[in-house]
Structure 1
Amino acid sequence: MNINRIITLCCFSPIVCIFAKCASPSNSAEKARDDSNTAVIETFQLTKGQLVSVIRIPGELIAYQQVDIYAKVNSFVKRLYVDVGSEVKAGQLLAAMEAPEITSQLSGAASRLKSQEAVYLASKATYDRLLETSKTPGTVSQNDLDLALAKQNSDLAQFEAAKAAYKEVDDNKNYLEIRAPFAGIITGRNVSSGAYVGPSGKGSELPIFTLQEQDKLRLVVSVPELYSSYLKKQHEVSFTVKALPHKPFTAKVNRLAGALDTRLRAQRVEMDVNNTDKQLLPGMITEVDIPLNGQDETFIVPSESILESTMGTYIIKVEHDSTKWVPIKLGRQTDDKTEIYGNLNENEQMIKLASEEIRDQSPVAGTLNISQ
Structure 2
Amino acid sequence: MKNLIYIALLASVFIFTGCAYSEKEPKEEKNMEKEAAMMNPFETIAVQKINPLVILKLAGELLPDQSTELFAKVNSYVKNIRVDIGDRVVAGQVLMTLEAPEIQSQVATAKAKLKAQRAVYLATLATYDRMVNANQTEGAIAQDAMDQIAARKLSDQAQLAAAESAYSEIKNIDDYLVISAPFNGIITDRNVDLGAYVGPMGKSPLLVVQNNQKLRLNISIPEANTPFIKLGDTIQFYVRSQPQHKYFAQISRKSGSLDLKLRSEKVEADFINTNHVLKPFMIAETQIPLQNSEATFFVPKSAIVDSNMGMYVIAVEAGKAKKIPISKGRVISDRVEVVGDLTENDVILKLGNEEIQEGTPIPNK
Q: Provide TM-score, normalisation by structure 2.
A: 0.81
Q: Which residue of 1 aligns with 2:324?
A: 326
Of 224, 231, 234, which residue of structure 1 is paired with 2:229? 231
Specify whether residues 341 and 176 from structure 1 end up closer, same or farther in structure 2 by C-alpha distance, changes over 3 A only. Answer: closer
Q: Which residue of 2 aligns with 1:159?
A: 160
Q: What are the Cα deviations for residues 202-227 of structure 1, in whole angstroms up to 9, with x where unaligned?
A: xx332211111111112111222222
Structure 2 residue runs of 5 or longer lacking an equivalent are 1-39
- CA separation in 2, counterparts of 1:278 and 1:243? 14
Is 1:51–1:300's contact at 8 Å kept on the other side of the alignment?
A: no
Amino acid across the alignment from 1:283: F
Q: What are the within-5 Å matches in structure 2 for residues 109-128 of structure 1?
A: 109-128=110-129
Specify whether residues 366 and 58 from structure 1 end up closer, same or farther in structure 2 by C-alpha distance, changes over 3 A only. Answer: same
Aligned-residue offset at 1:301: 2.4
Q: Which residue of 2 aligns with 1:83?
A: 84
- CA separation in 2, counterparts of 1:121 and 1:311? 90
Which has the higher mean CA deviation after the structures are superposed, 95-104 or 238-247?
Answer: 95-104
Structure 1 residue runs of 5 or longer lacking an equivalent are 1-38, 368-372
Which has the higher mean CA deviation after the structures are superposed, 119-128 or 222-231?
Answer: 222-231
Q: Which residue of 2 aligns with 1:176?
A: 177
- CA separation in 2, counterparts of 1:245 and 1:191? 37
- CA separation in 1, counterparts of 2:182 and 2:121? 40
- CA separation in 2, counterparts of 1:176 and 1:309? 65
Q: What are the Cα deviations for residues 70-96 of structure 1, in whole angstroms up to 9, with x where unaligned?
A: 222222112211111111111111112
Aligned-residue offset at 1:104: 2.2
Q: What are the within-5 Å matches in structure 2 for residues 296-335 of structure 1?
A: 296-308=294-306, 311-335=309-333
Q: What are the within-5 Å matches in structure 2 for residues 220-369 of structure 1?
A: 220-308=218-306, 311-355=309-353, 360-363=358-361, 366-367=364-365
Q: Which residue of 2 aligns with 1:140?
A: 141
- CA separation in 1, counterparts of 2:104 and 2:361? 99
Q: Which residue of 2 aligns with 1:218?
A: 216
Is 1:187–1:211's contact at 8 Å kept on the other side of the alignment?
A: yes
Specify whether residues 260 and 319 from structure 1 end up closer, same or farther in structure 2 by C-alpha distance, changes over 3 A only. Answer: closer
- CA separation in 2, counterparts of 1:208 and 1:311? 57
- CA separation in 2, counterparts of 1:68 and 1:147? 56
State the Cα RMSD in Å.
Answer: 2.4
Is 1:51–1:339's contact at 8 Å kept on the other side of the alignment?
A: no
Specify whether residues 318 and 262 from structure 1 end up closer, same or farther in structure 2 by C-alpha distance, changes over 3 A only. Answer: closer
- CA separation in 2, counterparts of 1:190 and 1:249? 34
Aligned-residue offset at 1:228: 2.3
- CA separation in 1, counterparts of 2:362 and 2:111? 103
Q: Which residue of 2 aligns with 1:92?
A: 93
Q: Provide TM-score, normalisation by structure 1.
A: 0.80
Q: What are the Cα deviations for residues 274-323 of structure 1, in whole angstroms up to 9, with x where unaligned?
A: 11311111111112222222223322223333345565443333333444
Which has the higher mean CA deviation after the structures are superposed, 358-367 or 170-179?
Answer: 358-367
Amino acid across the alignment from 2:300: P
- Name the SS of the counterpart of 2:275 in structure 1: coil
Amino acid across the alignment from 1:46: V
Which has the higher mean CA deviation after the structures are superposed, 330-339 or 121-130?
Answer: 330-339
Q: Which residue of 2 aligns with 1:17?
A: none
Is 1:40–1:366's contact at 8 Å kept on the other side of the alignment?
A: no
- Residue 48 (structure 2) pairs with residue 50 (structure 1): no
Is 1:53–1:333's contact at 8 Å kept on the other side of the alignment?
A: yes
- Report sequence identity in percent: 42
Aligned-residue offset at 1:193: 0.9
Is 2:328–2:336's contact at 8 Å kept on the other side of the alignment?
A: yes
| Structure of greater Rg | 1
Q: What are the Cα deviations for residues 42-71 of structure 1, in whole angstroms up to 9, with x where unaligned?
A: 544333232431222221112111111122
Q: Which residue of 2 aligns with 1:12?
A: none
Q: Which residue of 2 aligns with 1:65?
A: 66
- CA separation in 2, counterparts of 1:150 and 1:277? 69
Aligned residues: 326
